[in-house]
Amino acid sequence: MQDRRLKTLLSSEQIRAGVGRLAERIAADFRGQEPVVIGVLTGSIVLLADLIRQIDLPLQVGLVQARSYRGAATVPGRLEIHAELLPDVRGRDVLLVDDIFDTGRTLAALVRQIAALGPGSLRSAVLLRKRERQEVQLEPDYFVFEIPNVFVVGYGLDYRDSYRHLPYLAQLDEADLVGADLGPGG
């Protein structure tokens, strides 16, 4: 299992710089507000922890869980949202944070669900966005890096729940993914 080939796509220094730029844009755009920053479990945990410490604003933090059951690395399946952990967002300025915008189905579903709870405003931010994979109308309000259409792990992103702890972003070799059943992701 540990002999899968990993190729660094973004170093921890590149990610740190990118997250710093994102935090500055968010702080500027939400100036005068006190946003609720909602991280999507599990993939956003590393980004969420780094980002909230760099946003120079009063804010609250909340969580929501989304799992997409994937039959293969590139085939999105059924999506499950668990909103039990969501804080009260009515009238609040909400920033939804996820690891990656791939097909966009996860973020689109979460935005629909949270919008129905009556927030004052609702924006979304992701670290990564894959080229040519988008299947929804929704555009993320913020994304830091656009990456090629490859399967990536690290900095929160997993392959069968492994590799989330890597401080950098790596590409998993295609050969290690062929026919892979990823199980419930998130």
Residues recognised as catalytic: 102
Kindly state whether residue 140 participates in binding Mg ion, applying the rule CB under 5 A: no
Q: Rank residues 30 and 62 by Cβ distance to ligand IMP and give the closer one.
A: 62
Member of 105, 124, 129, 140 binding ligand IMP (CB under 6 A):
105
Q: How many residues bind ligand IMP (CB under 6 A)?
A: 19
The rounded distance, in Å, linking the Cα atoms of 81 and 101 is 16
Residue numbers 134-153 binding ligand IMP by CB under 6 A = 151-153
- The nearest distance, CB 32 to ligand IMP, in angstroms, is 31
Kindly state whether residue 103 participates in binding ligand IMP, applying the rule CB under 6 A: yes
- The nearest distance, CB 28 to ligand IMP, in angstroms, is 26
Cα 81–Cα 93–Cα 111 angle in degrees, nearest 5: 30
Q: Are 36 and 93 in contact (CB under 8 A)?
A: yes
Kindly state whether residue 154 participates in binding ligand IMP, applying the rule CB under 6 A: no
Residue numbers 61-100 binding ligand IMP by CB under 6 A = 68, 76, 98-100
Q: Are 158 and 142 in contact (CB under 8 A)?
A: no
Q: Looking only at Cα atoms, what is the longest distance across the chain?
A: 50
- The nearest distance, CB 110 to ligand IMP, in angstroms, is 9
The rounded distance, in Å, linking the Cα atoms of 153 and 155 is 7
Member of 6, 38, 39, 43 binding Mg ion (CB under 5 A):
43
> What sign does the dihedral 150-154-156-160 (CA atoms) show?
positive
5 burial via Cβ count (<10 Å: 0-12, 13-18, 19+): exposed
Q: How many CA atoms lie within 13 A of 121 on its CB side?
A: 10
Q: Rank residues 62 and 186 by Cβ distance to Mg ion and give the closer one.
A: 186
Q: Rank residues 30 and 86 by Cβ distance to Mg ion and give the closer one.
A: 86
Interface contacts to Mg ion, rule CB under 5 A: 43, 186
